[in-house]
Amino acid sequence: MSFNWCFIGTGQIAKKVAKELVTNPGHAIVSVFNRTKAKAEKFAKTYNSTVYESALDAINDPRVDGVYIATTNETHFSFAKLCLENHKPVLCEKPITGNTKELKELIKISKENNTFLKEAMWTWFNPVANKVRQWIKEERIGKILSVDCIFNMPIFGYNRAKGRYINPSRYGGALLDLGVYSVRYVYELFGKPKAITSRGKLYNGIDLFNDSIFEYGGFKAHVSSQINRLVGEHCIIKGEKGTIKVPLFHMASKAVLKTKEGKEVFRDKKKKFATQFRVVAEYINGEQENKLVSLDSSVEVMELMDEIRKQIGVIFPCD
């Protein structure tokens, strides 16, 4: 399959993605836009792409089949809107927008223009997360007793001088950069909770730390993220018959199921970004059913994050 991408943004995540994306047969990056043209030119040289002076020109390159947005959080909405209004399918990095209101507006434009929109939540385009969901559905560990899903990385420590992470006008903080993975993981397995109780530690109006309890009736899920300490990353699901553990769950290559019958390890070593882009291209081309990472799920996860921010006091301009 031949599929040509436009890249909006050429930072670190774009570089990681591009390196894997082009391993998909037939996939190429044909157009590029970045706010700093020199960075776009350096990136484009690697992939033999055309650099454009504006995002609109890059999007409207006639060769482009789909647009990938890899810019900072506060710009996702405006770039995605530009793509949809110009009838270009768009895959936008997480979090797809700053709040639910922005996302619903994008969905409205997507429907009006009959143009594809998807959030780049790579975790759920890949086999490990979906194997965990299968184990839960099959009740391999029986009735769920507890869930602990945490994602912590000391971004604040080594990026304190970089304003994006500590700036509410740029949608900074732990929740939108890391917590979106924890919230999404629990949501994809168990749906929306009956209630949420959240607390956090703020700095300059953003959350260095957020800690929530999701109430699911028969059990509680602990969902947490922070950018000021290295505590670790895992999802541990305990049930009456056993336990599922997923280390490094957002980019997992392994999930472990332990029951009285023994231990089962599921591994997947395929390139995670490459898989995501291959699947999305097949969706856009109508080659397979568009079923992973639905917009409805993105809306409900955004609603959960809006509620967490409301409880801990983080306010963005889009609110």
Q: What is the predicted pLDDT for the residue at 166?
A: 86
- pLDDT at residue 91 is higher than 50: yes
Average per-residue pLDDT for the chain = 95
pLDDT band at 161 (very low <50, low <70, confident <90, very high): very low
Q: What is the predicted pLDDT for the residue at 205?
A: 94
- pLDDT at residue 158 is higher than 70: no
Which pairs count as long-range contacts for 157-161, CB under 8 Å and 24+ apart, including other chains? 157/228
Which residue reads 């490459």 in tokens? 274
Find the helix packing angle between 180-190 and 295-312, rounded to 10°. Answer: 120
Lowest mean pLDDT among 32-46, 158-172, 279-293: 158-172
124-268+289-312 and 3-121 share a CATH fold = no
Phi, psi of 284 (to 5 degrees): -60, -40
Q: Where are the domains of the chain?
A: 3-121, 124-268+289-312
CB-based burial label for 18 (10 Å; 0-12, 13-18, 19+): buried
Which one-letter DSSP state was computed for residue 289? -
Rounded distance between C-alpha atoms, residue 188 and residue 297, angstroms: 8
Check if the beta carbon of residue 256 is closer than 8 Å to that of residue 263.
yes
C-alpha closest to that of 95 among 196, 155, 188, 174: 174
**3-121: CATH, from 3.40.50.720, 3.40.50.20, 3.40.50.12780, 1.10.287.130:** 3.40.50.720
Domain at 124-268+289-312, CATH homologous superfamily:
Dihydrodipicolinate Reductase; domain 2 (3.30.360.10)
Q: What is the pLDDT of residues 99-151, one digit of tens each?
A: 999 999 999 999 999 999 999 999 999 999 999 999 999 999 999 999 999 99
Q: What is the pLDDT of residues 173-188, one digit of tens each?
A: 999 999 999 999 999 9
Q: What is the pLDDT of residues 231-278, one digit of tens each?
A: 889 999 999 999 999 999 999 999 999 999 999 999 999 999 999 999
Q: How far apart are the first and last CA of the chain?
A: 41
- pLDDT at residue 17 is higher than 50: yes
Strands in the chain per DSSP E: 3-8, 27-33, 50-51, 66-69, 90-93, 117-120, 144-152, 195-203, 206-215, 220-226, 233-239, 242-247, 254-259, 262-267
Retrieve residue 234's tokens: 């895992």
- Reading phi first (left if > 0) and then psi (alpha if -120 to 50, else beta), residue 242 is in left
pLDDT band at 230 (very low <50, low <70, confident <90, very high): confident
